[in-house]
């Protein structure tokens, strides 16, 4: 039978990952602070959250693969662009203070939501942009930099990937969310979990509840993203980015 602590972890993880899978990121807004509130040091909470977040990607993948919206060559490009940054970010975060970086990241995250809100047609229709050599190189560099943030300051960085895929490569929100959840959720977070697990400690006895909540939350959120229209996904994305930015600044 689940203890009260395990039940809280399960419920919060499910809620956080449902919203994250719907909007294309943001599980760390709820899940990481919850682990800190329950008493884990930052590095242990971050490593534990990273491992649990992999299940979000797995749950979302089961649902999105059935939709047939993904280009696997483009998916591999996103994967290989981001993982080096994720590994470097994981190596850096255990050695530096985070307060100033969190404030800067919070301001940048809020700006993403405001930018999307000021562009009503952004991500509403699928386009094919910047697929030449120069465009792909610029896109890859930015994804690597986002991977650096993902490996270090985890809260909300999936939202950065979602907006970059929409803004630079011309994806609609629904397709961008699918790529983010599968590639960031499983592979980027998996690389970050391995890196942080080698450098820090994972709270193994909390993981079963977190993994179950992440798995089913990822599937539920992915289903909502598939059946919803792009405008709804865009609005939730904007609300989450602003909320995450405020939380990072005030943390």
- Cα(9)–Cα(11) distance, integer angstroms: 6
Closest Cα partner for 48 from 60, 38, 58?
Answer: 38
Asked if 54 and 193 touch (Cβ cutoff 8 Å), the reply is: yes
| Residues 111, 117, 118, 121, CA torsion sign | positive
Task: Say what the pTM is.
Answer: 0.81
Cα separation, 187 vs 58, in Å, equals 10
pLDDT at 77: 92
Going by the DSSP 8-state scheme, the letter that residue 132 receives in this structure is S
CA–CA dist 85, 91 (Å, integer): 10
User: What averages of pLDDT result for each successive group of 10 residues across the chain (251 residues)?
Assistant: 80 86 76 80 80 81 71 88 83 65 76 87 87 93 86 71 92 88 81 78 89 89 84 85 81 67
């Amino acid at each position: 039978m689940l203890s009260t602590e395990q039940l809280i972890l399960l419920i919060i993880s499910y809620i956080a990952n449902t919203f994250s899978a719907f909007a294309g990121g943001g599980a760390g807004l709820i899940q990481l602070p919850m682990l800190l509130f329950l008493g884990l040091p930052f590095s242990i909470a971050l490593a534990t959250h990273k491992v649990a977040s992999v299940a979000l990607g797995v749950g979302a993948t089961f649902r999105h693969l059935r939709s047939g919206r993904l280009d696997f060559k483009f998916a591999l490009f996103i994967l290989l662009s981001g993982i080096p940054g994720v590994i470097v970010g994981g190596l850096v975060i255990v050695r530096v203070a985070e307060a100033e970086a969190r404030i800067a990241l919070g301001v940048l995250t809020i700006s993403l939501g405001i930018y999307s809100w000021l562009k009503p047609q952004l991500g509403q229709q699928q386009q094919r942009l910047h697929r030449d050599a120069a465009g792909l190189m610029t896109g890859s560099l930015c994804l690597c930099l986002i991977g650096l943030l993902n490996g270090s300051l985890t809260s909300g960085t999936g939202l950065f990937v979602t907006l970059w895929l929409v803004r630079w490569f011309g994806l609609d929100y629904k397709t961008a969310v699918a790529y983010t959840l599968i590639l960031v959720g499983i592979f980027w977070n998996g690389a970050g979990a391995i890196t942080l697990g080698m450098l820090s400690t994972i709270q193994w006895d909390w993981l079963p509840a977190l993994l179950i909540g992440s798995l089913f939350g990822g599937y539920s959120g992915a289903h909502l993203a598939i059946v919803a229209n792009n405008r709804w996904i865009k609005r939730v994305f904007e609300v989450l980015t602003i909320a995450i930015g405020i939380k990072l600044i005030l943390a």
